């Protein structure tokens, strides 16, 4: 099994912007991503970004794949040919040999969010 190292620039998602948000005790620099504008999918257990990694023919810099957003079929078909070609590259991926857990099924494991047990420590106003 091959492990991939993937880097994604979330600020390139449609409608994403950076804003400082004041909480109760401090101000934090936040990335805001509008769910619908960015074509994210809101499920029962989370908000999902569908990505597609395409293998590059020339991997001069060690990256073996480019990563783009995989839009829903109806949104993709509504784009013009120019808009389809100009979809931003959100990141890159490269094969990492001999790194990480190679246990069968490990790649399919869903990471669990790190939620503090004391919800009173949340510095954000929402």
For the chain, domain boundaries: 3-98
Per the structure block, which two tokens stand in for 34? 């509008």
pLDDT at residue 8 tops 50: yes
pLDDT > 90 fraction of the chain, expressed in percent and rounded:
56
What string of DSSP letters covers 52-68? EEEE-S--TTS--EEEE
Q: Measure CA 50 to chain center.
A: 8
Nearest to 62 by CA among 92, 36, 89: 92
pLDDT score recorded for residue 11: 96
Give the number of residues written for the chain. 126
Query: What's the rounded mean pLDDT across residues 102-121?
Result: 48
Q: Which two tokens stand for residue 22?
A: 């004041």
The pLDDT of 107-117, averaged and rounded, is: 48
pLDDT at 32: 97
Give pLDDT tens digits for 25-47.
999 999 999 999 999 999 999 99
* Greater pLDDT, 121 or 71: 71
């Amino acid at each position: 099994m091959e492990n991939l190292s993937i880097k994604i620039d979330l600020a390139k998602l449609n409608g994403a912007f950076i804003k400082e948000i004041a909480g109760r005790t401090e101000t934090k620099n936040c990335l805001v991503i509008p769910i619908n504008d960015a074509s994210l999918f809101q499920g029962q257990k989370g908000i999902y970004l569908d990505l597609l990694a395409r293998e590059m023919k020339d991997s001069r810099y060690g990256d073996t794949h480019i990563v783009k957003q995989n839009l829903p079929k109806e949104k993709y078909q509504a784009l013009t040919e120019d808009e389809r070609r100009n979809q931003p590259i959100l990141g890159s991926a490269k094969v990492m040999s001999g790194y990480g857990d190679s246990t069968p099924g490990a790649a399919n494991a869903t990471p669990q969010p790190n939620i503090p047990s004391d919800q009173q420590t949340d510095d954000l106003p929402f």
